[in-house]
Structure 1
Amino acid sequence: MATTEALTPTVPTPSEPSSPRKGGLSPLARYLLVRLALLIPMIWLLVTLVFLLMRVIGDPIQAALGGRLSPAQIAERKAEAGLDRPILTQYLEYLGGLVRGDFGVTLTDNRKVSDILLVNGAATLELAFWSLLVAFAVGIPLGRLAARYRDQLPDVALRLFAILVYAAPVFFVGLLLKLAFTPFGWPSSGRASTTTEITLQQVEPQTNIMIIDAILWGEPSLILDVLQHAMLPAIALGLLTGGVFLRLVRLNLLQTLRMDYVTAARARGVSERRVLSKHAFRTALVPVVTVMGLQVALLLGGAILTETTFEWKGLGYQLAEYLVRRDFLAVQGIVTVIALIVGVMSFLIDVIVAFVDPRVRF
């Protein structure tokens, strides 16, 4: 005869949720380690591609100095630069130099590319900063306005504006700005006036970022002069990215406004203005942070044309100068630096997004 205990169904005892293993990595740490591990091969592919492209173009010594030096002098310069060695040896030396922070030496003016990075790279960094400020000032509030008046006249006008500023060549926008503001005495070339540049060269320690050096000097007129010179280049380049931000903020706001928690807020009687600013706006900004990493490449690409148009002596301006001189070793070093900046910025944006949006960690 079966006992009562045997007839009673056995109910499994629910197990405790497994706790993270001691010494184990958190999801955020694992995510960041994976992104860092992916960054290394990405940078390796970028620098390898730059190296191969520069070799496909041809002999850089002949291209830069041919016609000005005798064949014996050209052969001597090739030996000095290591270009007479096997391609694999050149490649390994190139990678070894990058690890040591040695990006090479230019052919036409014998400058270290690392020095160009410190001086001209600081100018590009300053221009990118001002351009991002313009992009945020234009794209985020106008995108919010377009979402609020969806399919109405303000929305249609702002979407058309976003398409125009994104599609218009940045050098063309720069020329229009110069034509519009130069007659009113607005500075349209250089990073500062000659007097200001000479004065700021005496700042200790010199950062090569004009606005910081002007603040360190402590003279309001110098700060104003630097800001005036930065205004037109920053608007020309910032509108390019601002159009992207405008459309992105509008799209994400419209998607967020259709979510359940926003509908619940409206059902509780929350005003539309508060729903937009308090409940939907912050969530819609998360994809904007993600896209910022992609816009770094856009800013650096546009900086070449912007800096050339406004004679802003940054990396883009210097790169254009070396292209004209056919100094391909200098071009190789500068493009490698730009590739590294894009890769590192992409990783930093991933880190920021991981802290802002926990969903990406899992």
Structure 2
Amino acid sequence: MEQLGTSPKDLHALAQDIKQQGRALGFSQIGITGVDLREAEAPLLDWLAAGHHGGMDYMRRHGLMRARPAELVPGTLRVITARMDYLPRNAPGNWREVEWQRLAQPEAATVSLYARGRDYHKVLRRKLKQLADHIAAQIDPGVVRVFTDSAPALEVELATRAGLGWRGKHTLLLQRDSGSMFFLGEIFVGLPLPVDAPTSAHCGSCRKCIDICPTRAIIGPAQLDARRCISYLTIEHDGAIPLELRPLIGNRIYGCDDCQLICPWNRHAQRSPLPDFEVRHGLDQAVLLDLWAWTEAEFATRTEGSAIHRIGYTRWRRNLAVALGNGLREHRDVAWRQAAVQALQNARAHADPLLRDHLDWALAQAGTQPLGTSR
């Protein structure tokens, strides 16, 4: 293939080609922005100083590098941001209503929609690498690095500046034609490509996402205290879930979609054209007791290639124990309650201290004394 030059005309043609190739690879939208994120530095420092990053120490370690792409990857001149829809192709037309109904079923196990299919890190990285290779085949891009939630970069900030949407009050990127049900990935390049213009915000006075949050983790417009966020607690957090937050988690065992389910813009959420994000292992219909019965080997097998795999079996069981406890407090079916109590009690003898703490809490929700009291 004949190599392009670096004239403004050639770079404009390349930018258009990148967007066209991105769509062919399954991306919903491609945007390009510069690397000057100085306006984002103060809010980032304030967020870290307040401790709102919780136990995600890597956030503090990387500090301002998150807002300085050219320091993260020296030689970077532009960041190409790609958006990929993940709502499964076969999701029903009333998918939001279906999800609300599921959250109201104490025996159900609710996994965040994005995690029911293949691990998005793998899917996006493969596609972004193909796009990067396509660029390199036409022109020497200088530096080129692909990231999929794998670098200390301000993804939403970069995507906002690249015109892919605006930051919603729930802190996620919103797009008028697609809502927020999509992933983001980046390619850092050493090319002075033409940049895209940012779009305007369209949340207005709506605060539904703030008001719906079960744990009040959204403490203000675009302000999140991760320490209270169910997604953080069930995925990133590796310790004990705070007692006061356990009842608020309900049957959510991996992530939380409430702020997206309530968002009016998600009536426009787009189905993914890729089969990778279709539901695997029946996770859209799973029930707590069935998942509790998984052995560690079954967990490893059934979550292989899934984002869920990364939390490990212990954290998985911790989350299930909390959900079962909430089920015991709310469920009125005697047979189910008896089965749940027995399952939890049977696990105590071989549980480590972290899991045993959550088991005892869960059993207490049914007014049941655990077998034994030693820890």
Please give the range of the TM-score, normalised by the shorter of the 2 chains: under 0.3
Question: Which structure has the greater CA radius of gyration?
Answer: 1
Question: Per residue, is there more strand in 1 or in 2?
Answer: 2
Question: Per residue, is there more helix in 1 or in 2?
Answer: 1
Q: Relative contact order, CA 8 A, sep 6+: which one is greater? A: 1
Q: Could you state the TM-score of these two structures normalised by the residue count of structure 2?
A: 0.22
Q: Could you state the TM-score of these two structures normalised by the residue count of structure 1?
A: 0.22
